[in-house]
Structure 1
Amino acid sequence: MEVKQKVELLREKYQASSERLNPPSPLKPVWTLENSEELYRIQGWGDPYFSINAAGHITVSPKGDRGGSLDLLELVEALKQRNLSLPILIRFSDILEDRLERLNACFAKAIARYRYSGEYRGVFPVKCNQQRHLVEALVRFGKPHRFGLEAGSKPELMIALATLDTPGALLICNGYKDQEYIETAMLSQRLGQTPIIVLEQLEEVDLVIAASQRLNIKPILGVRAKLSARGMGRWGGSAGDRAKFGLTVLEILTTVERLKAANMLDCLQLLHFHIGSQISAISTLKDALREAAQIYVELAKLGAKMGYLDVGGGLGVDYDGSKTNFHASKNYSIQNYANDVVAEIKEACDASSVALPTLVSESGRAIASHQSVLVFDVLSTSNVPSGPPEPASEADHLIVRNLYETYTAINPRNYQEAYHDAVQFKEEATSLFSFGYLGLRERAKAERLFWACCERILAIVRHEDYVPDDLEDLEKIMASIYYVNLSVFQSAPDSWAIGQLFPILPIHRLNEEPTCRGTLADLTCDSDGKIEQFIDLRDVKSVLELHPLRPNEPYYLGMFLNGAYQEIMGNLHNLFGDTNAVHIHLTPKGYQVEHVVKGDTMNEVLGYVQYDAEDLIEQLRRRSERALQDQKITLQESQMLLQNYERSLSRYTYLA
């Protein structure tokens, strides 16, 4: 048979296979905003702050369901006109206020429901986000609720002492303590503060007793208990016998005896426990509450002047919107949380006729996460080849012809077998090339055919109810890489370090179907500088639905719920510094930019690693002069180099 006839037969075979794979169908449904809402789970994790408007843009309602919203795309464009380059961290102070008010309202409702005679006095753990404008805003918003602060270190104590000026607000002093820490906390009572020094190590008991006698100040003390009830998920080790902080029951009794011997047992007024951050299951909290409540009651019976019970942190955030006990979600509401805290403590105290304590919680993640949105742009993409391949001819190598035949024969009945054949042929092509039996063009043609096979198989797999295990990674293999103007290590360190999930999605074009699948790669030259896990209803997905880039048109993505821990834990990998940050406040006329915190310049980050900009410039100038003398560079080129160098030092570390 002639070559032309064979090619024609292959084409006919391909056409017939294509018709079987893609039979005529009704017109494709129009993509709607509801489709985007469902795809990106916005109502699950974003309610009541984030939604989509008719233009397909993300909107922000900083006051929740109390009215007023902003178009996030329009806000970003307006910030760029203020010479603020992306990436940019946008903090909505109204969301911060709303979160704090919701927490207090839920505890007030629970206290009324269960006729709890005590009160609630929350504190914000400074370690969650130490940024000055945020802490100052929280103190301001917390005044009506006498909301306080929690310090977990001496530097955080310095922040709290200077910032917290709310009469009656608590200052919970946690973490490792030396003599200076304890003395400073005690002396702050003279300023009208209400510091509670939480004893977490036995050694701290003697330090407190000595400082009290030396300063003649009666401190308010607490003890942190190591509960047998354990947390779950990543932070489950925060409780239990091997927990980093806290006293065992035996050590608590020893503390009581030492305080009693020093005539200071009346100073012991608080019991504290913490079973871990991001508690995803409410049952875990209930177990801890029952145990802690009994310890509290027993301490009161021993003569301690108990008055506070601190349930620690752990109030979770529903990052994926699934409302389950998955580590990136939670199966309870803030109201459920408050109800259980109030009910469990009341039941235990009433049963033993012990006065009800003031309830304290150290909710940080639940207060700070929603207020911050990181917006960044996509720089470019790397895509696998797509579209119909060039037909094989008789002149092509057998491997190429085998791959083309495999491609034309793919159908819903044999796609799994075809995938294995394609993989085998590709591996053989690579081996043949390595031994010199296949040319570069033929290897390229083989790889093009392999990707064409994967593309056709993936089109079938996406419509299957069950995906075979050996094809589960095909979606990720075929995904594009979207290169983003971002450092994962600086702006989302938990994503890299512990696999924390954050909602990520386009902030515009949500009225269009996202036809691409991609993963994100940042600017660092580290292979870990990527995001390859995204929220999904059932579990975690390895690719994100995205839109194809348009020439000369920006494409913006937003990372949401990242207002807790990420900023302070970010590092300077590849010397990418802090991003630009703005604080936005909703007004009757729109919004006001309250604060602008400019991101690090190259000059600043070089200073962090002990380089002096003037020295660097001078060194380059000298090298330029030597190159001029050796006629390796012209004067014009030398000046251009030095000018570019100096300009770069004063600019943002990210790409313009």
Structure 2
Amino acid sequence: MKIKYHDLIQQTFDFPQPEFKVDNGNLLFHDIPLMDLIEKFGTPFKFNYLPKISQNIQQTKKWFKKAFKENNYNNEYKYCYCTKSSHFSFVVQEALKNKISLETSFSNDMEIIRRLYNKGIVYKNIEVVCNGFKTDEYLKIISEMINGGFSNILPVLDNFREIDRLSDSIDTNFNIGIRIASEEEPKFEFYTSRLGIGYKDIVPFYAQKIQNHPFARLKMLHFFINTGIKDTSYYWNELYKCLRVYARLKKIAPEVDSLNIGGGFPIKNSLNFDYDYYYMVNEITYQIKKFCEEEGVEEPTLYTEFGSFTVGESGGIVYKILSQKRQNDREKWDMIDSSFMTTLPDSWAISRRFTMLPINRWEDSYERVFLGGLTCDSDDYYNSEQHVNAIYLPIFSEEKPLYIGFFNTGAYQDAISGFGGVHHCLVPQPKHILINKNKDGDFTYEVFREEQNYKQILDLLGY
């Protein structure tokens, strides 16, 4: 009878998978020996495997290159990294190794660009797409940088007032974009995105404010929907509406040469994840090419702004199961040595799922459990609702410590929980480790930030 945890996984999923395999009862992630990290650094700890960032960028570029060739698409593809997914320097600098552009959403993002420039990591020709509702400070920094020679900074107008503010403060030629306020999916609580300008208002706005502007040149139309890039009637319908606006604009504004379709590639959240990335890239390319031919306009340079897809699959977090609590005759609670609210806020705030697997003891028998965090909050748990199916882990044993990992957690978690700040019940921010490869192909490890200590936390609170 097959009762080992390894048997369960092999019977339930196609396993091993490209990033996961088991060696001597221990899990490897991209061949990284996770038990070695546990023995070296202890738990809990977060990590980022930096080569995965470049791998995803390069793979996406290959998909678009292939699709452009198959569809005879006569323009360029440009990859932007959406910085709000993870602002960490090690993420941005790894992404920039791949000759990409950046997308920003707030004034402090622009200070990152300045610091990268001062360190010689980027030059004044770096392309930056400035999104979001722009405060006066955001507009001020954009204007200062354009006036200072950053010629490829492109503010995407979110509302009518922004062009006036930019016009008052920029004294040279500059490019702009317009964000379309897309209609939300029917199940949303509101009909239209709060971001951007309505479909019917864009062409009149161009004619009144931009067409005869002495300095501003409309270059880009920006399109994004919250549900992401999915093969649904809703997605294709919104894309077609966007293309109709592009075609109308192109006929009166030949300088418009770029279409930004935003982000939205999903990342793997379970072992049965199934998404045909190339099919979607090819279909988007085909539909845009076909539409432009029918309208008699040139197909645009195509931009994407992948954030989660760029960085998400590089990240993970490892916990130790401290103890098991049995609250009744049916429920077993495996208690981790941290808090989900501190380290994986998406898991409790919006029931986001992540790939969760034990690190060791794959040859042991298993049991159904719930996972509980250390805080006193009733929401600090991870259960079958988030995990789709019930959670099964090797049977708890006081004599044989069990370690578990959550994978593909590299996007948004630190920004939402507040990296290094004060967390619920004062549970500390865990140690953060960077994993890379040297020129010989060997793994290298660096502690980016040690676990918070009580003095750091109490200092923040004024004690």
Per the normalisation by structure 2, the TM-score is 0.90
**Amino acid aligned to 2:175:** I
Answer yes or no: is the 8 Å Cα contact 1:502–1:534 preserved in 2. no
Q: Would you say 1:332 and 2:275 are equivalent positions?
A: yes
- CA–CA separation in structure 2 for the residues paired with 1:307 and 1:368: 28
Give how far 1:340 is off. 2.1
Paired residue for 1:557, among 390, 404, 415? 404
Give how far 1:490 is off. 1.3
Counterparts in 2 of 1:96 and 1:581: CA distance versus 1, 3 Å:
same
Q: Would you say 1:530 and 2:385 are equivalent positions?
A: no
**Amino acid aligned to 1:51:** K
Match of 1:293 in 2: 243
Q: Would you say 1:172 and 2:122 are equivalent positions?
A: no
Paired residue for 1:205, among 156, 163, 168? 163
- CA–CA separation in structure 1 for the residues paired with 2:129 and 2:340: 32
Match of 2:294 in 1: 351
Answer yes or no: is the 8 Å Cα contact 1:148–1:169 preserved in 2. yes
Answer yes or no: is the 8 Å Cα contact 2:50–2:314 preserved in 1. yes
Q: Would you say 1:73 and 2:18 are equivalent positions?
A: no
Correspondences of 1:225-240 after superposition (within 5 Å): 225-228=180-183, 230-231=184-185
Give how far 1:168 is off. 5.6
- CA–CA separation in structure 2 for the residues paired with 1:232 and 1:499: 21
Match of 1:581 in 2: 432
Query: Which protein has the bigger helix share?
Result: 1
Give how far 1:371 is off. 0.4
**Amino acid aligned to 1:202:** F
Match of 2:354 in 1: 502
Q: Let me know the Cα RMSD of the aligned residues.
A: 2.5
| SS of 1:499 mapped into structure 2 | coil
Answer yes or no: is the 8 Å Cα contact 1:286–1:340 preserved in 2. no
- CA–CA separation in structure 2 for the residues paired with 1:355 and 1:507: 52
Correspondences of 1:45-444 after superposition (within 5 Å): 47-53=17-23, 55-61=24-30, 69-78=31-40, 80=41, 85-140=42-97, 142-143=98-99, 147-163=100-116, 165=122, 169-189=126-146, 190-212=148-170, 216-228=171-183, 230-231=184-185, 241-260=191-210, 262-264=212-214, 267-303=217-253, 305-323=255-273, 332-383=275-326
Task: Give deviations 1:62-94, integer Å, cap 9, x for gaps.
Answer: xxxxxxx2222123223x2xxxx4110111011
Give how far 1:102 is off. 0.9
Task: Give deviations 1:128-164, integer Å, cap 9, x for gaps.
Answer: 0112221222112x22xxx111111111222134337
Answer yes or no: is the 8 Å Cα contact 1:378–1:483 preserved in 2. yes
Answer yes or no: is the 8 Å Cα contact 2:231–2:280 preserved in 1. no
**Amino acid aligned to 2:265:** L
Task: Give deviations 1:248-278, integer Å, cap 9, x for gaps.
Answer: 1233134213324652586111000110154
Answer yes or no: is the 8 Å Cα contact 1:241–1:248 preserved in 2. no
**Amino acid aligned to 1:488:** F
- CA–CA separation in structure 1 for the residues paired with 2:195 and 2:354: 28
- CA–CA separation in structure 2 for the residues paired with 1:314 and 1:336: 15
**Amino acid aligned to 2:38:** V
Per the normalisation by structure 1, the TM-score is 0.65
Task: Give deviations 1:216-247, integer Å, cap 9, x for gaps.
Answer: 1222100011234x4488xx67xx84312010
Answer yes or no: is the 8 Å Cα contact 2:428–2:451 preserved in 1. yes
- CA–CA separation in structure 2 for the residues paired with 1:305 and 1:241: 31
Counterparts in 2 of 1:167 and 1:345: CA distance versus 1, 3 Å:
farther
Give how far 1:545 is off. 0.8
Paired residue for 2:4, among 18, 31, 44? 31
Task: Give deviations 1:397-447, integer Å, cap 9, x for gaps.
Answer: xxxxxxxxxxxxxxxxxxxxxxxxxxxxxxxxxxxxxxxxxxxxxxxxxxx
Answer yes or no: is the 8 Å Cα contact 1:503–1:534 preserved in 2. no
Query: Which protein has the bigger strand share?
Result: 2
Match of 1:569 in 2: 416
**Amino acid aligned to 1:36:** I
Give how far 1:287 is off. 2.4
Structure 2: gaps of 5 or more residues: none
Task: Give deviations 1:180-222, integer Å, cap 9, x for gaps.
Answer: 422422443444451110001112122122223xxx1222100
Point out which structure has higher relative CO (alpha carbons under 8 A, 6+ apart): 2
Give how far 1:380 is off. 0.5
Q: Name the % identity.
A: 22
- Computing the radius of gyration from Cα coordinates, the structure with the larger value is 1
Structure 1: gaps of 5 or more residues: 1-27, 62-68, 324-330, 386-450, 452-477, 612-656
Give how far 1:500 is off. 0.8
